[in-house]
Amino acid sequence: MSAVTQGRAELVPVLVVGAGGMGRTWIRTVLDSDASRLVGVVDVVDGAAQRAVQDLVPEHEQPGIATGTELLEVAARSGAEAVIDVTIPAAHHQVTADALHAGYPVLGEKPCAATLAEAVSLAGHAEETGRLFMVSQSRRNNPHLHEARRLADGLGGAGIVDTRFAKAPRFGGFRDEMEHPLLVDMAIHAFDAGRVLLAGTPVSVTATSYNPGWSWYAGDAAATVAITYDTGAVHTYSGSWCSPGDETSWNGDWALHCEGGSVRWDGETPPTAHPSGGDPVPGRAPGPQERWELDASLAEFCAALRGGPVPDSEVHGNVWTQAIVEAAVRSADTGRRVLLADLLDEALVEARELDSADGRSRALQAWKTGASGLGAR
């Protein structure tokens, strides 16, 4: 076998499910990847997968890409080894469960599933099948974020993390009609990034949401959230999607408070450490070898399939991020502090009912509680 042939054989052959806007972004990511190769595209809309291939794949490579509307049929025909699920959230549970039980590891676009119960159910399906299910929480794959954690650890570790987010996008469409557009569609990124910066497991969430009189959203476009961790650390988030003027980056503006000083990060450029009584220390700039966002998610997923470590965003770890979002919404609606352990226990009961009706997984029957089944993350 030639070096070229051997190198191509080591690439993970993947099937992309979903050929809409985000699906096309993932197709481009796979085509540019040095860890995977595209062998198929699926979309429930007849002809959508074929059009995506025609638009994005070099003409000489198109004959080698299988397309169609049926996941398992195209997967078998394409020779895929893994599936990338870029369907709408309402379809994530069915698509991911079907792929896992057919023997295909899955890399899913966030959120893990449409509901927390469905997300817990998918953790059970991954256990039942023994297949990897990783969620691409792409914004955690930001070298500046991890440099902020490194700087904070050098100052004793972050005990308080403050995030300010202010943007004023006029999306139109479904976001304008959502009940909690900021919390559900955007804040999930900051909540997940906070888990990168803080040690321990999230314990409780207290949230208030509101909608200024000038807002063009039907639902609450602003929120203040406090997330406590079992280490005593706290992540506070203040965000708005209707704040024109002095806007932050899309990643927000961050302050990490530590025993030995603080770290500031504007969400776009390298962070800076501010030691107590010392001069500011600029963080390291990312090198050309650093991977970002979707490319990093795909590389981590493929590395795991080739014997590498289990990704941090494996389903059991990622469910904690979705639980924070659901807890924030519930707290905002009720005005009460929400314990994640209680929320996960409720989700476990519902997930067991889902799995009982489905009949393919009994893994959740062994879980004593929702939190213990997921493990400390």
- Measured at the CA of 315, the angle between CA 369 and CA 17, to 5 degrees, comes to 140
What is the per-residue pLDDT for 20?
94
**Cβ contact 89:111 at 8 Å:** yes
What is the per-residue pLDDT for 4?
37
What is the per-residue pLDDT for 2?
37
Q: How far apart are CA 314 and CA 62, in angstroms?
A: 32
Q: How far apart are CA 341 and CA 42, in angstroms?
A: 37
Query: Tens of pLDDT along 98-129?
Result: 999 999 999 999 999 999 999 999 999 999 99
DSSP string computed for 65-82: -EEES-HHHHHHHHT-SE
Q: List domains and CATH numbers for the chain.
A: 142-282 (3.30.360.10)
Q: How far apart are CA 254 and CA 161, in angstroms?
A: 7
3-state secondary structure at position 160: strand
> Rounded to whole angstroms, what are the CA distances from 307 to 136, 302, 311?
19, 9, 11
Q: How far apart are CA 73 and CA 98, in angstroms?
A: 12
What is the per-residue pLDDT for 3?
36
Which parts of the chain register pLDDT below 70? 1-9, 376-377
Identify the DSSP state of 309: P
Query: Tens of pLDDT along 238-261?
Result: 999 999 999 999 999 999 999 999
